[in-house]
Amino acid sequence: MSIRVRMTVLAATGVLVAGCTSTEGGAPGATSAPPSAGDVKPSVTATATTPAAALPPLPGPLTGQRPAWKRCPAPEGGQGPGARWRCATVTVPVDYAKPEGATLPVALIRKEATDERGRIGSLLFNFGGPGASGVVMLPQLEEEYRKLGERYDLVGFDPRGVGRSAGVVCRSDAEQAAAEATVDATPDSAAEEAAFLKDGADFGAGCARRSGALLAHTTTSATARDLDLVRQVLGDAKLHYFGVSYGTQLGGTYAHLFPSHVGRLVLDAVVDPTADTVGHARHQTIGFQRALDSYLKSTGQDRKAGTERISRLLRKLDRQPLAVGERRLTESLALTGIAVTLYGQANWPLLTDALAEAEQGRGGALLQLADYYNDRDEQGRYSTQSHSQRAISCADSSARPTAAQARALVPEFRELSPVFGAFLAWDTAGWCADWPVRGERATPEASAPGAAPVLVVGTTGDPATPYEGAEKMAKELGEGVGVLVTNKGEGHGAYGTSRCVTRTVDAYLLDGKVPAYGTTC
């Protein structure tokens, strides 16, 4: 599992709960036999970059929908959200160029505003990934958004291809576990390289067998169009929106496609809209090493010596993984476990303990951290978030770096980060290799001339979406639209962890107070 731009409960709350279960709202994994394979021709959604005015109008049965809000079903083996939450679905076209054609359901969850007189409207959330289930995550974060919930209906949704919205499924739990146990994400030999590339191709082939008809239509631009239809169905004249991590890419895309429909938009932990696949990997290499440096400094360790200590452990695991019961802690899983703790400063003590245990020959703590990030529960079941994540990412990006190109990046990336460099360099080739559909474009589009001011929040120590991305997003949105707010701190996302940022965002969303560009917390 690569270090992708994603938002987990760990990142959102800054604390890891031992033995946590999957956070995905969809199927826990494809355990039944896959449907028969069909030919999936490479294609691009025809509406990808088409201006809204040039598309066919949506038919009345879609725009005239009225959601049937009902008590939310409890997930398998778990409890449903509180009594005030209600669930519904909105029907959207699979292809906006053919709105009279096939449709799919978009799952929603809502908690109505507690202050009816002061109600502003609906506030939609996307917690990143891509692939995070808003239907599952929003109720879990209910207390964090309590103040906003006084005057907004809090609305979460599963984007198309995620969870209960025709969630993409690509492989079974057994296949996922086998890949994690055997595939080296930093190949050192021709055999390891071949296995790494084959795994990426097999993953894509599994997506094509199980979800092929949808794969060309899981783009962020299609989801942005879904957002606008949901806005209409909910009865809001403008879209009020809170996007975190990948959710900032979705928010920027919406602002570009529908600038006149922009209400109050907050983008926190911002994806750089000017970066392509290699650019994102380079940014994350710098960002995760920067966060690792801050962690080492906080523990009194020298940056160079501490980095070498961790690199030495990883090299040892590469040669000889640690047995953890019937499983093994590999170099790749250890890297994932290390990375997830860097999403929030409150998690750093977990990293200290996990590294110390691994150096003593016990890999259970790092493996548990990796399982958390990979959405694997104690029964060995995985969520399908990583499936949706890859489907959306590869539908969005037209880049398909080759193994030779990835190999050529390794020296540069290792120089940037001895710990994460090779991992992220190889990831550029493994992520969308041999993907069954073409991607939409090299980089997303976020220019939104004429839109209302959009709050763009960047954290200086963010590992997954480094601060520079917020600067780029504010600039891309345009003068008078993108309003940059800088959070001097650590971690992925600032709202709820920085009091200053939280106050600034609340004043904007609740009272319409737009801070000065460059406000620093």
**Residues forming the active site:** 245, 462, 492
Distances (CA, A) of 438 to 386, 432, 434: 19, 10, 10
Q: Which amino acid is residue 392, in one-letter code?
A: I
Coil, strand, or helix at residue 2?
Answer: coil
> What is the distance between the alpha carbons of residues 514 and 483, in angstroms, rounded to a whole number?
8
**Nearest residue to 220 via CA among 445, 41, 53:** 445
> What is the distance between the alpha carbons of residues 273 and 278, in angstroms, rounded to a whole number?
13
> Which two tokens mark 304?
């160079």
Distances (CA, A) of 327 to 106, 178, 182, 368, 397: 37, 10, 11, 11, 34
**Nearest residue to 263 via CA among 228, 237, 227:** 237
> Which two tokens mark 396?
């969005």
> What is the distance between the alpha carbons of residues 224 and 22, in angstroms, rounded to a whole number?
26
Q: Which amino acid is residue 317, in one-letter code?
A: L
* 515 contacts: CB under 8 Å, gap ≥ 6: 455, 483, 485, 504, 507, 508
> What is the distance between the alpha carbons of residues 162 and 134, in angstroms, rounded to a whole number?
9
Locus of tokens 């980095």: 307
> What is the distance between the alpha carbons of residues 237 and 264, in angstroms, rounded to a whole number?
12
Could you tell me if 355 and 347 are in contact, meaning their C-beta atoms sit under 8 angstroms apart? Answer: no
Could you tell me if 422 and 193 are in contact, meaning their C-beta atoms sit under 8 angstroms apart? Answer: no
CB burial of residue 405 (10 Å; 0-12, 13-18, 19+) = middle
How many residues appear in the chain? Answer: 521
Could you tell me if 81 and 118 are in contact, meaning their C-beta atoms sit under 8 angstroms apart? Answer: no
**Nearest residue to 167 via CA among 61, 22, 11:** 22
Supply φ then ψ for residue 455, to 5 degrees.
Answer: -80, 125
**What is the bridge-based pairing of β-strands 327-329 and 322-324?**
antiparallel
* 305 contacts: CB under 8 Å, gap ≥ 6: none
* Count of CB atoms situated within 10 Å of the CB of 154: 25
Coil, strand, or helix at residue 323?
Answer: strand
Instruction: Identify any residues that bridge with 486 across adjacent strands, giving them in sequence order.
Output: 458, 520
**What is the bridge-based pairing of β-strands 152-157 and 103-111?**
antiparallel
| Radius of gyration in angstroms for the set of CA atoms belonging to the chain, rounded to a whole number | 22
